[in-house]
Amino acid sequence: MESSDRHATRPTHGLVAVPAGRVTLSDRRTQRSWAVDLAPFRLGALPVTQDLYAALTGLHPSTSDGDRLPVESVSWWDAARFCNSLSEQEELRPAYRITAAAADSDATVTQDPAADGYRLPTEAEWEYACRAGTEGPRYGTLDDIAWHRGNSGERLREAGSRSPNAWGLHDMLGNVWEWCWDRYDPEVYGDYRVLRGGGWFDEHWSCRASVRRRSHPTFRVDDVGFRLARSGG
C-alpha cells in the first residue's frame, strides 16, 4: 500500500496496487456486454473521507459529520477538482484539464493520459478492482463487506469498517456510491456520469459489482462520494 508521507499530520490516502487484467462489463438496460483490457493502476483502499476532503479544500459538504466517514454530497465536478488539487499539492501532474466557467454545467474537461496525478477510476477499473479476481455478484458475504439498508441503521458508516476484498479494498460495495470518470451513455444521456457500488440506503440488489447507476455531474446527494485512482502499477 502506498500513502503520502509528505504531510505526516494530514489524513492519509493510501492506494492499493491493482494488477493488469481484463473485465467484462454489462448493461441490463441495453443487454450489451463488452470486455476491457486494463493496464496496472492504483486505487484508494478507502473512499475519500471527510477529514481528507476538509484538509485539502477547507470544506465540509457532507450531511453526516465524522472525520472517518466517507465524504458525500459531492458532485462529479467536485471530485474531479479535488483530484487536481491533491495532485498539485503533491507536485504531481494533474490528470484533468478543466475549462473555467461560471457554472459547472458550462465547463468542459479532458483527461491527460500522460499525467501521474490523482484521478477518478474508469468504471472498468472500478469493477475489476471491486471483483478482485472473483466472478460472482459480490466479493464476499454482503453483511461482512458492505453497509447497506439492511444493516446500516439507515446512516453513513465509518470508511473501512467492513471487511476488504482480496486486494485490500474496503467499501467497494455499500456505504456510498462512487463517481467514475465515464459518461454513462452519451448518445442517450449526454454528460451523465457513471456511479458504482451501492450505498448505505440501498437494498441488497444494488450492492453488486456489476450494477451501474447514472447521474448528472452537478448532482450532490448524501449517498454519493468518490475514490482516488492513479495510473501505473
Q: What does the pLDDT look like over 89-128, one tens digit per residue?
A: 999 999 999 998 888 988 999 999 999 999 999 999 999 9
pLDDT of residue 153: 98
pTM, to two decimals = 0.93
Q: What does the pLDDT look like over 142-168, one tens digit per residue?
A: 999 999 999 999 999 999 999 999 999
Q: What is the DSSP string of the chain?
A: -B---SSTTSPP--EEEE--EEEEEEETTTTEEEEEEE--EEEESSPPBHHHHHHHH-----SS--TTSBP-S--HHHHHHHHHHHHHHTT---SEEE---SSGGG--EEE-TT--S-BPPPHHHHHHHHHTT--SS-SS-HHHH---TTTS-SS---TT-S---TTS---SSSSSEEEEEEES-HHHHTT-EEEES--TTS-GGGSSTT-EEEE-TT---TTEE---EEE--
